[in-house]
Chains A and B, each alone.
Chain A
Amino acid sequence: MRWDWNAVREFMPYFWDGLRVTLQILALGSLISFALGLVWALLMRSPTRWVRWPVGVVTEFVRDTPLLVQLFFLFYVLPEWGLTFSASATGVFAIGLHYSTYTMQVYRAGIEAVPVGQWEAATALNLPVRRTWTAVILPQAVRRVVPALGNYVIAMLKDTPVLMVITVLEMLGQARLFSQQHYRFTEPLTVIGVAFVLVSYPASLLIRTLERRLVR
């Protein structure tokens, strides 16, 4: 085995580009998944089963099928239907949608963990439904679920390399590009492997701390 530090040095500019793209995807994807997940969770509490049932089936379907195939679906099928988005926009949407089906479960657990007394108090104070949710239930529910949501952000980080297959140049995409140009596979792939551990391990420590502080 020959380890070439020069190749590492040459790869670093590509690496920083890739890292920036990865973090952008992660940030936007998280936002989408947090918002959509909340929408799913609220829809699942709707009184009629004609809403609950379809939402339940669709989210279960999205959760149990590979992100990779969903990406292909969005990337190749949407243009056939006349909707054309850039590769990275498609990727961000796909990853956000995929993870929203996970965050939905987290929100649901958080909402169910709000004590019944809070609901009863809201009823007793004659609060309208909207205010019950925004001022009483959600602030308490969201606080509890922050660490669990953080876990999914880390999981999402580890799924961003999949976006490489639809030509998004995130970390793995850059590494592959560099490898093909210079015919050096060992260094770029090892560098990004280490980078993933270096980002996700401290992040998981941070979440463990948050868990201790926020969830009692």
Chain B
Amino acid sequence: MTSGLWELVLKGIWTTVQLLVLSALLAAFVSFAVGIARTHRLWIVRFLAGCYTEVFRGTSALVMIFWVFFVLPVAFGWQLVPLWAGTLALGLTYGAYGTEIVRGALNSVDPAQREGGVALSFTPWQRMRLILLPQAVPEMIPPFSNLLIELLKGTALVSVMGMGDLTFSANLVRLALQQSAQIYTYILLIYFVIAFALTRLMRGLEKRLKAGVGRAPEREVSARELKRPRTTGVGGRVA
């Protein structure tokens, strides 16, 4: 491989990382906003938030990407820059998985904590901000870490739309060199390294957050137990 081709791959890595960071931010925002809405006391708020989750979790990420790239411009006249279109599709899809994580963690906080907040006449917002979230967020980190890996794998899908990410650069190199084993092996390794770095990062974050509420991080084995966010209700282990 020549240096020109490596430059292509580096550009691809940069695009993938940009897309990953942006869509992770959007997904985190959506997860918390909709996840908290799913614990709201009004049924209509819970219902609407539930509809969002089921629709976006029910459909496929690639179909969503197609929809944002092809239907949105025609139907609503929103022609988005590819990077933003990809961010929107991935962030909304993976955010829907995240809402279940947030909801599950909020529900698993001891009810006495909430009641304590009521007894001290905290407003609902103060209860959420000062009592529930500080205890729930550390519990969310391991599942969020898995979701982040899924999101990284999801970013490869935008290459189907011709966005110049890591996978797309691999296809260009394949066409240039007329041989595929080498470049695809490199690309798979690069994805693996990024995924590994992300897992480490999230484990460090979990350690710090759990130290803040006086708990030990999960054992390494159980943290790795299930990588994919669950499709049905959260809560309880597999077996």
How far apart sit A58 and B152, CA to CA, in the bound complex (Å)? Answer: 19
Contact of A158 among B61, B155, B192 (CB under 8 A): B61
Contact indicator A66/B238 (Cβ below 8 Å):
no
Contact indicator A185/B59 (Cβ below 8 Å):
no
Chain A residues closer than 8 Å to B184, beta-carbon distance: 69, 72-73, 76-77
With contact pairs A77-B181, A189-B66 given, residues A61 and B192 touching in the complex (Cβ less than 8 Å): yes
Chain A residues closer than 8 Å to B195, beta-carbon distance: 64-65
Q: Which of A24-32, A88-96, A125-133, A193-201 makes up part of the contact surface?
A: A193-201
Contact indicator A102/B192 (Cβ below 8 Å):
no
4 further A-B pairs in the complex, CB-CB below 8 A; given A66-B155, A110-B239, A189-B66 = A65-B192, A161-B63, A165-B160, A193-B63
Contact indicator B71/A186 (Cβ below 8 Å):
yes
**Scoring B residues 44 to 84 as 1 if CB is less than 8 Å from chain A, else 0, what string do you get?**
00000000001101111111101100110011100000000
Contact indicator B238/A69 (Cβ below 8 Å):
no
A105 at interface, CB cutoff 8 A: yes
Q: Which of B31-39, B101-109, B225-233 makes up part of the contact surface?
A: B225-233
Contact indicator B60/A72 (Cβ below 8 Å):
no
Q: List 8 A-B contacts (CB under 8 A).
A: A64-B149, A66-B157, A69-B191, A72-B184, A80-B181, A197-B58, A200-B58, A204-B232
Chain B residues closer than 8 Å to A204, beta-carbon distance: 58, 231-232
Closest to A63 in B: B227
Chain A residues closer than 8 Å to B227, beta-carbon distance: 63, 102, 105
Closest to B184 in A: A73
Contact indicator A65/B188 (Cβ below 8 Å):
yes
Taking Cβ atoms with an 8 Å cutoff, the residues of A that contact B are 1, 61, 63-70, 72-73, 76-77, 80-81, 102, 105-106, 109-110, 112-113, 141, 144-145, 147-148, 151-152, 154-155, 157-162, 164-165, 172, 175-176, 179, 185-186, 189-190, 192-193, 196-197, 200-201, 204-205, 207-208, 211, 215
How far apart sit A212 and B96, CA to CA, in the bound complex (Å)? Answer: 24
Contact indicator B170/A72 (Cβ below 8 Å):
yes
Chain A residues closer than 8 Å to B67, beta-carbon distance: 189-190, 193
How far apart sit A76 and B181, CA to CA, in the bound complex (Å)? Answer: 8
With contact pairs A64-B196, A172-B66 given, residues A162 and B157 touching in the complex (Cβ less than 8 Å): yes
Chain B residues closer than 8 Å to A147, beta-carbon distance: 232
Closest to A1 in B: B75
How far apart sit A176 and B55, CA to CA, in the bound complex (Å)? Answer: 21
> What distance in Å separates the Cβ of A66 from its nearest Cβ neighbour in chain B?
4
Contact indicator A207/B231 (Cβ below 8 Å):
yes
With contact pairs A144-B239, A193-B63 given, residues A73 and B188 touching in the complex (Cβ less than 8 Å): yes
